[in-house]
Amino acid sequence: MSSYQKELEKYRDIDEDEILRTLSPEELEQLDCELQEMDPENMLLPAGLRQRDQTKKSPTGPLDREALLQYLEQQALEVKERDDLVPYTGEKKGKPYIQPKKEIPVQEQITLEPELEEALAHATDAEMCDIAAILGMYTLMSNKQYYDAICSGEICNTEGISSVVQPDKYKPVPDEPPNPTNIEEILKSVRSDDKELEEVNLNNIQDIPIPMLTELCEAMKTNTHVRSFSLVATRSGDPVASAVADMLRENRSLQSLNIESNFISSTGLMAVLKAVRENATLTELRVDNQRQWPGDAVEMEMATVLEQCPSIVRFGYHFTQQGPRTRAAQAMTRNNELRRQQKKR
Which parts of the chain have pLDDT scores under 50? none
Type of residue found at 238: D
Domains and CATH numbers, the chain: 114-152 (no CATH), 183-344 (3.80.10.10)
Judge contact between 220 and 190, C-beta under 8 A: yes
- Quick one: pLDDT at residue 22? 87
- Quick one: pLDDT at residue 220? 94
The Cβ-side half-sphere exposure at 40, using a 13 Å CA radius, reads: 3
Task: Report d(CA 216, CA 200) in Å as an integer.
Answer: 10
Q: List the one residue out of 249, 237, 230, 247 whose CA is nearest residue 316.
A: 230
Judge contact between 307 and 327, C-beta under 8 A: yes
- Quick one: pLDDT at residue 143? 64
Span 44-84, pLDDT tens digits: 877 777 777 777 788 778 888 999 999 999 999 998 888 77
CB pairs under 8 A, 24+ apart, for 319-328? 320/293, 321/296, 324/296, 324/299, 324/300, 327/303, 328/302, 328/303
Helix (DSSP H) and strand (DSSP E) numbers for the chain: 14, 5
pTM: 0.53
- Quick one: pLDDT at residue 167? 55
284-286 and 314-316 beta bridge pairing: parallel
